[in-house]
Amino acid sequence: MQCKREYEFLRQNAGRKTLNAVATEFEDVKVDFRDSRKIKDARLVRIQKRRVLGAPVLLAEKSNDAREEAWDWRYTPRPCTTSSCNEYYTPYSNHLYAFYRTPLAQTSFFPQQIFCPTCAQAEVEGFEQKVKEKWGSRCGWNEQEWQEWYGNAMNDRNMELEFWLKAQERVVKGKGPARWVSRLEDDYGVAVNAVDENRSKKGIFSRMFASMMA
DSSP secondary structure of 20-48: HHHHHHHHHHHHHHHHHHHHHHHHHHHHH
User: For 165-182, what is each residue's pLDDT tens digit?
Assistant: 999 999 998 887 755 443
Same domain? For 206 and 144 the reply is no
Domain count across the chain: 2
Q: Which of 8-12, 14-18, 156-160, 205-209 has the lowest mean pLDDT?
A: 205-209
pLDDT of residue 13: 67
The set of long-range contacts for 66-75, using a CB threshold of 8 Å and a minimum separation of 24, is 71/177, 73/169, 73/172, 73/173, 75/51
User: Does the pLDDT at position 104 exceed 80?
Assistant: yes
143 lies in which domain range? 76-175
Q: Which of 9-13, 37-41, 186-190, 200-204 has the lowest mean pLDDT?
A: 186-190
Distance from the first to the final alpha carbon of the chain: 32
Same domain? For 160 and 107 the reply is yes
Same domain? For 84 and 62 the reply is no
User: Does the pLDDT at position 187 exceed 50?
Assistant: no
What H or E segment, with its residue span, contains residue 182? none
Instruction: Work out the angle at residue 103's Cα, subtended by the Cα atoms of residues 102 and 104, and round it to the nearest 5 degrees.
Output: 125
Same domain? For 135 and 192 the reply is no
User: Does the pLDDT at position 124 exceed 90?
Assistant: yes
